[in-house]
Structures are given as structure tokens and as C-alpha cells.
Amino acid sequence: MIQFQSPKGMQDFYPDERAVQKAIFDSLSKTARSFAFQEVEPPVVESLSLLTAKSGEEIKQQIFVLEKKGTEELALRPEFTPGFARMFVAKQRELVKPVKWFTIGKAWRYEAPQKGRAREFFQLNAELYGSDKPEADAEIIILAINCLKNLGFKETDFVVRINNRKLLSGLISSTISEDKIETAMRLIDKSTKLSEQEFELEASNEKLTKQQTSELKKISSLKGNPFKIINDIEKMNLAPQAQAGLQEIKSLLKLLPNKSVQLDLSISRGFAYYTGMVFEIADSSSKLRAICGGGRYDNLIEIYGGPKTPAVGFGMGDKTLTLFLEDKGLLPKISTGPDYFVANISAETQNYAQNIAAKLREKYCVEIDLMQRKLGKQLEYADSIKAKNVIFVGEDEVKSGLLKIKNMETGKEEKKKIEELV
Amino acid sequence: MIQFQSPKGMQDFYPDERAVQKAIFDSLSKTARSFAFQEVEPPVVESLSLLTAKSGEEIKQQIFVLEKKGTEELALRPEFTPGFARMFVAKQRELVKPVKWFTIGKAWRYEAPQKGRAREFFQLNAELYGSDKPEADAEIIILAINCLKNLGFKETDFVVRINNRKLLSGLISSTISEDKIETAMRLIDKSTKLSEQEFELEASNEKLTKQQTSELKKISSLKGNPFKIINDIEKMNLAPQAQAGLQEIKSLLKLLPNKSVQLDLSISRGFAYYTGMVFEIADSSSKLRAICGGGRYDNLIEIYGGPKTPAVGFGMGDKTLTLFLEDKGLLPKISTGPDYFVANISAETQNYAQNIAAKLREKYCVEIDLMQRKLGKQLEYADSIKAKNVIFVGEDEVKSGLLKIKNMETGKEEKKKIEELV
């Protein structure tokens, strides 16, 4: 006999796990709505050409592609930005700007499953189109912060690391030529994961000189209190692009809460399409991967065939977030037991018991015996599913119209008419 | 410039459409919970061998298969029953019976998109494992009925057509040999969609005699008031299997509401794996496809490697359901506008306005200007996004601590402290 299994890196959520997950998603969704972000629902399947348009061919290795049926070359989304951008472009003429959209859904990546990383995962994705102002950057970052605060995290539990691509590339450009800036940014992005030796090796593989390598190390070590770092940077000889980036950061900082925000020049978010602000939020103790990340990509909508449109957004995956909640003892505690179990005492009163259950179900979560079990077995079952109350229905109850209700937590019993319950 | 499109038969849900969809799903989910069904979340991707185990190779044509990465042969689920069954089998030892699970999620089928049928669709799926009693059949049917009633449908809007596979195959077996019973059931299942001539042609293609064909037509015409049809059937000479099926139907009918239930011998739900009760719900005017369908499959868990376990369930897709709601004028009306728009009058009061918005967001859906627009443009925007109230923040308001609030529907203005609002 074959024993079927769930695909590698893809999780089954049983009722208890699903209840926790749902409570987390409900909180995220409520937070996004409070910021007047509106929920959209793009397809899970997109054309492969859409998914590879901004990130190039290399992402193809991570994408689950569908076998061709007909002429369409389709794939499972590895992220939400392309689908959102496609939807924006299709209706951009009639949409009132700024457009603020979010979704919570599944995405897929073919990579080695490990702690905090799976092949099928959920993600909250939020995008804001149409504003190039620091207010929009701040809105995205504050939304991400509030998502965490509303889940119960304290501001000291996490750290928000912001940076600006213009500032970073401007600083790099003072020692490294234009054609190597992207390479240098990717190296900086990896710097926190590499030892000093590994960093130097990778730099020399990319044909950077020792002086360039040392300059990159210096840049990527600029992190900490934003005003101190800005002070350090302002002492440097800045290219115009770096000046512009620094100005953006200063405007943004005025709009952000002080406590948990750091300026961190080692954050560059890998992808070449970011054009301005970039940020990540991580747990303060750095035990886990980044909990969320995002930034500004003012050229992205053009890639998808739309008019030049400023855009900023972020994504927050469920895997690291759940580990973080667990670590802080903040996983929602959900009771999945029904409000009432209607215990039926005799075969003659079954229809009456069914009617009681039906009435209660207008308001409550109600279970009733479906196995023609004797009363004792019914009560064992009610106990094992953690029913909060048991209602007894027998011939006495039918005659008197008074139901005996037992609170299973306190053991207290009382008699009530059905009308008093609904 | 490429204009990207959503894949054929797969829909983008923009905010207004998503809000309607969410209201429908919330209602379905609340109804399922009221019956003490618990939500589970299986992966969207399953092994192809799991998905083809019960329905054979022919369903492969409808399944979107993933290009192989590594050794797993994976595909997108075309339905939920296999994934649920796999999850049940994996934990069946520790699960308290009966197990009652539901989910609302996406599924995919490669077929020609048409009214009420799409390649990517949502479905409510509910399964009940571990009870072979009529109470379990009734629970599933009443849940489906209540899903519709809680969405606003009247009992006269729809009709519940029930049948029993044992009864049907027992009746057929009196004229048709064992090896052709499945063929005959599939023909009966199609009968309502075929003209008399087409029916006869298909029957003769299947090498059925004229007498057999006429007998099948007679059986499939048995539909209507359950007690009348039972009366007609009881006059016939019944094989033991038909007797057993009839008995099951009689026990079930005692547990169902009379009004909208018909006994309909032409319902057989196509698939060979149904073993007892089968049912469909359709709109009374027969304008649309079936809104939902399901039945009992007591051999199914064994196919997936588990012990013999009685099982009954149903699925309800979003496409036909949405058409039905539309037809009856019952689509939920959702206002997507924010509760408050905080209008900021001068650059000096921006931080104050931001703080007001932040406080209100603890309770409400709140929008604020992110474009550095002048007041007039802000109000135009508030209007176009259908904000319910506008709060004005200027230097007077900062000084006095009193906010001017305008109700955009009534035009009424009042002054309040922020503490009165949250």
C-alpha cells in the first residue's frame, strides 16, 4: 500500500496549526486595512515571462514552472510584486492614486527547505503606487512596524534597518566604476553573512582591488543610530547621487518613530530594481532571518509596460514571523473546542436535539452526536473535543422545555430555555 | 512594450471584487464553523500520484502538472478530497472521530473557460470521516443548505437533489449486467444534458439494448417529491442492494428539512468512488450549473493507504455560487471607503496629523495624504476614495486640541477631542 506524503518543503496545517495561522493573518490583515490598504487577489499562476521580467533568467531556477498545455508558458508565483504590477498597469488609467494594495497568500520557491524557509509559504505583500514622497516610504515602514506591534511584539524586540540605494551607490561610485556598482552592492548585501576572509575572497573573484575592498568594508560597517551615521557620512566627500540619497533619508527619518530604527549601509536587498529607500526588519537578537523587507522601485511599473510610476512596498513571510512569535512566546492561543455539545439521551428525542443544535448554530459553534453513540460515549467525545458546554436533551427536557446545561470548565449546571440561549 | 495579461481562465480580483468575495467566504466559513467543522490548510501542490489515485489517468488531462525539479512529480490540486484524505491518513490514529474538516481555497482545472467555469477557482470543501450513519449524511447536506441560507437565499430559491448509489445500481442491475453498471450510471448522470435522441445514440454506442435503454430512461425519470418517488420504487421488484439503498434514503429523509429536498434518480455524480448517498444543489430555475455536490465514499480512505473509514463530503465552487447570488440580487454590498481621512492643512502640522492618524488606526481604517497635496486636492482624493469622515488638522486644531470632523454623507460637522474618538 502506498503511503502518500505532502511534497517536500510544503506543510499540512491541521486544525490547531491553522487556527494559529489564521489568527496571525487576521491580525496582519486588520493592520493593513487600518492603513487603508485594500485587499486584492491576483491569480497564483502567472505567465513565466511576467515572473522573469524584472529579475532576469536566474530566478527561473527557483520558479516552479507548469508543463505546457496549449500555448501559455505558466508558473507558480515566487513573489507578489509582478502580479500586483500587472494588475496596476491593466487599470492604471482609472485607478485613483496613490493606490494601496495588499494580499496574504501563498508563493512557491524551489530551494532547500530549512529553518524559516519552505518551498510553499505564505506572505503578506503590500504595495503603494503613485507617490514618490517620503510620506509613502514612511507609510510602508510604519505599516510593517505596526504589523509586528499588533501581534504583540515590543519595539525593543526588533530592529528596523533602513538604507538608501542612491546613497549606497553614490558612496560606492567614489571608488568603484559604474559597471561594477551592482556587483559591489550584492557583495555588501551578503557582507553580514560572510567572514572577513570570505568577503575578501569574493571581492578578489570580482576583480576588486584591495583598496576598493577595504572601502566597501568601511561602507558596509556604517550602521547604528541614524543621526550618528549621518554625521559620519556628512564628513565624507559625497557624490551628487549620495547627497540626494542622504537627503531622502533625512526626510524619511523625520517621519519615523526613533526607537527601533537604525541606518545600516550594509542593507541593499540584493535585487537591482530598487531605486531609493530599502529596509529590513529583524529580531533584535539576530537569531533569525529578516522578518520582512522592502523598498522603493520607481522604474518597476515601466518594466511591466506601464507609465513611469513611483512605487514602494514590502513583503513579510509567515515562516520567520512564526518562529519569531514562538521565540517570544507570542503565538496566539486559540481554543478550537465548540461552544456547545448537544447530548441526546434517547432515540425518541433525536429530532428535538437536532432542532436545539440547529437553533444554537445561528450564533454558536455546536457539535452533536453523528455516530448514534450512547450517552456515556457522547460525553467522552464532548470531553475529547474540548466542548465548552454540554446540553442534555432527554424526555424530561422535551416535556419541560428546560435544558440542562453543564459548563465543562467549572462543572456548574443550570437549567435554561432555548430562547434564553439564542 | 509587452502588455502582460493574466493567464486564460484565471481572474484578477480588484479591491471591490475581492471585498465581495471575502464577504461570501467569511459567511461560508462562519457557517462551517457553526457546525463544528474545523479549518485545515493543505498544500496547493500535491504529488501527481495522489491526485490520480482515485479517478484514474483520465483526470490527468485536466490537471496542471509541474515541470519536474528533483525527483518529485508534482501538480496543482484539481479538487480537495485527495489532500484531505492524505492528511487524515497521516494522523488517523490520533484523531478523534468523527473528524470534520473544511477549507476554502483555490483549485485548478485545465478546461475551456466558460460561464461558471474557470481554470483557477475557489472552492469550499467539507469532509466528515468516521461515521457511516445517516446523521453524518444529513449533517453534510444541512451544512450545504445552511451555507446558502446564511448567504440570503430562500429555501424556494434552490433545490436539493438526493440519490443513493446503492439504490441506483441495484435498480440498474435488474436489467443490466454487473460490468456495464458504471457505464449506465455515467449515462444516467449525463441524461439531463442530452436530448432523447442523443441519449439513445450514446446508449447504443455502449451496446445497450433498446429494452435496457428504455429501462434506464425510466429510472432516470424518477424525480420529485421523495415520498411519492419512494412509493413508486416500492412497487418495483427490488434487488437486495436497491432495498438497502432505499432504506438509507428513508433514514436520511427523516433527518432532512422537507421543503427543498427532492429524490432524483438521475443524480449519480459521475465518479465511480461514491458508495451511498449522493446529492447536488441547484437553483430552482435550472439556469445555472449545480451550485454544489457531494456524497458518501466509504472506500476512499483505503485508496490512500488508510484503514477502511466511512467518509462523506461536498464541494461548493465560487463561480456558480457568485452567478447565483448575482441572479438573486444577493451579492454582498461592501463599502470599501476608509472610516476617516485626516486632512492636513499646513506643513507645520504634518506630524500632528500623522499622530492623529496613528491613534485612529488602533480602531479604524484611516487614510492620510501621502502626496504632499494641497488641502483642496486632499479633499478631492478623500471624496474619490469614499472616505466616510474627514478630520481637519491645522494650527487652530493643534492649539485647541479640538478636531473638526465632517461626516461626508450627511455633511454635518462637529468638533471633538481625539480622546472622544478612540
Distance CA A189, CA A224 (A): 16
Amino acid present at B61:
Q
Q: How far apart are CA B288 and CA A178, in angstroms?
A: 62
Q: Is the pLDDT of residue B1 over 60?
A: no
Q: Is the pLDDT of residue B2 over 80?
A: no
Helices (H) and strands (E) in chain A, counts: 15, 16
Contact B325, B24 (CB under 8 A): yes
Q: Cα torsion at A245, A246, A252, A258 (round to 10°)?
A: 140
Residue range A200-248, pLDDT digits in tens: 999 999 999 999 999 999 999 999 999 999 999 999 989 999 999 999 9
With beta carbons less than 8 A apart as the criterion, state whether B339 and B390 touch.
no
Grid coordinates belonging to B60: 490527468
In 3D, which of A287, A310, A280, A377 has the Cα closest to residue A88?
A310
| Interchain CB contact of A277 with B (< 8 Å) | no
Q: Is the pLDDT of residue B353 over 80?
A: yes
A254: chain B residues, CB-CB within 8 Å: 351
3-state class (DSSP) for residue A218: helix
Q: Which residue has the higher pLDDT, A268 or A87?
A: A87
Q: What is the pLDDT of residues A348-400, one digit of tens each?
A: 999 999 999 999 999 999 999 999 999 999 999 999 999 999 999 999 999 99
Answer for the pair A354, A391: CB distance below 8 angstroms, yes or no.
no
pLDDT at A170: 95
Q: Measured on CA atoms in the order A328, A278, B14, A50, is the torsion positive or negative? A: negative
The contacts found for B291-296 with CB under 8 angstroms, 24 or more apart, are B291/B148, B291/B158, B291/B316, B291/B320, B291/B321, B291/B324, B292/B124, B292/B144, B292/B147, B292/B316, B292/B317, B292/B321, B293/B269, B294/B126, B294/B140, B294/B144, B294/B269, B295/B165, B295/B269, B296/B137, B296/B165
A100-139 residue pLDDT tens: 999 999 999 998 888 888 999 999 999 999 999 999 999 9
Distance separating alpha carbons of residues A357 and A361, to the nearest angstrom: 6
User: Can you give the pLDDT at residue A56?
Assistant: 66
- pLDDT of A114: 86
Instruction: Provide the pLDDT for residue A17.
Output: 96
Q: Residues 353-412, chain B: which have Cβ within 8 Å of A? A: 354, 358, 361-372, 381, 384-385
Strand pairing class (B311-317; B120-129): antiparallel
What was the pLDDT predicted at A1?
57
Q: A268: pLDDT confidence band, cut at 50, 70 and 90?
A: confident
Ramachandran angles phi, psi of A93, nearest 5°: -65, -40
Among candidate residues A234, A219, A206, A227, the one with its CA nearest the CA of residue A173: A219
Chain A residue closest in CA terms to B11: A43
User: In the predicted model, what is the mean pLDDT of residues A273-290?
Assistant: 93
User: pLDDT category, B116, cuts 50, 70, 90?
Assistant: confident
Rounded Cα–Cα distance for residues B90 and B304 (Å): 10
Our CA-based measurement puts residue A171 at a distance from the nearest CA of chain B, in whole angstroms, of: 29
d(CA B294, CA B139): 12
Mean per-residue pLDDT for A93-97?
Answer: 96
pLDDT tens profile B259-280: 789 999 999 887 778 999 999 9
Q: How confident is the model at residue B88 (pLDDT cuts 50, 70, 90)?
A: very high
Q: Give the cell for residue A122.
A: 505564505
Which of B1, B3, B4 best tests the A interface by mutation, with the highest count of A CBs <10 A? B4
Which phi and psi angles does B256 have, rounded to 5°? -105, 150
CB contact under 8 A, B40 and A18: yes
Closest-CA distance, A40 to chain B, in angstroms, reads: 5
CA distances from B224 to B115, B160, B227 (A): 28, 10, 9
Q: Which amino acid is at B227?
A: F
pLDDT digits (tens, 9 = 90+) for B139-158: 999 999 999 999 999 999 99
Query: What's this model's pTM, rounded to 2 decimal places?
Result: 0.96
The DSSP result for B122-135, as a single string, is: EEEEEEEES--SHH
For cell 461514491, the residue is B274
Q: How are beta strands B38-39 and B99-108 bridged, if at all? A: parallel
Amino acid at A359: K
> Is the peptide bond prior to A307 cis by the omega test (within 30 degrees of 0)?
no
Tell whether A211 is within 8 A of chain B (Cβ): no
**Digit-coded pLDDT (tens) for B24-42:** 999 999 999 999 999 999 9
Q: Which of B281, B291, B280 is nearest to B324 (CA)?
A: B291
Can you tell me the ipTM of this complex?
0.95
CA distance A167 to A183: 16
Task: Give the pLDDT mean for B367-393.
Answer: 96
Averaged pLDDT, B396-409: 94
Query: Mean pLDDT throughout B54-82?
Result: 90
Out of B43, B72, B136, the one facing A11 most closely (by C-beta) is B43
Beta bridge partners of A69: A72
Across chain B, mean pLDDT equals 94
Find, in chain B, the residue whose alpha carbon is nearest to that of A66. Answer: B66
Q: In 10 A of CB A177, how many CB atoms?
A: 10
Report d(CA B272, CA B303) in Å as an integer: 13
DSSP-derived secondary structure letter, A38: E
Those residues whose C-beta lies under 8 Å from the C-beta of residue B354, and which sit 6 or more positions away, are A255, B368
**Which structural domains are found in chain B, ordered by start?**
15-327 (3.30.930.10), 340-421 (3.40.50.800)
Residue type, A292: C
Of B7, B146, B372, the CB nearest to A45: B7
pLDDT for the residue B242: 96
φ and ψ at B181, to 5 degrees? -65, -45
User: Is residue A139 classed as helix, strand or coil in its secondary structure?
Assistant: helix
On the question of pLDDT at B258 being above 90, the answer is no
Query: How does pLDDT run across A154-194, given as a tens digit for each residue?
Result: 999 999 999 999 999 999 999 899 888 888 988 998 888 88
CB B245 within 8 A of CB B276: yes
CA distance A412 to A397: 18
Q: A358 to chain B: nearest residue by CA?
A: B35
CA dihedral B111, B114, B117, B120 (to 10 degrees): 60
> Inter-chain contact A370–B108, Cβ cutoff 8 Å?
no
Q: Report pLDDT for B321.
A: 97
Among candidates B229, B300, B221, B311, which has minimal Cα distance to B267?
A: B221
CB-CB under 8 Å, B12 with A43 = yes
- The alpha carbon of residue B312 is apart from the nearest alpha carbon of chain A, in Å, by 12
The three-state secondary structure class of A273 is coil
Whether the CB-CB separation of B126 and B81 falls below 8 Å is answered with no
Q: What is each CA distance from A59 to A52, A54, B54, in whole angstroms? A: 7, 10, 36
pLDDT of residue A155: 93
Decide if B9 touches A, using CB distance below 8 A.
Answer: no
pLDDT greater than 80 at residue A58: no
Neighbours of A421 (CB within 10 A): 17
Contact B248, B277 (CB under 8 A): yes
Count of beta carbons in the 10 Å neighbourhood of residue A125: 26
| Summary mean pLDDT of chain A | 94
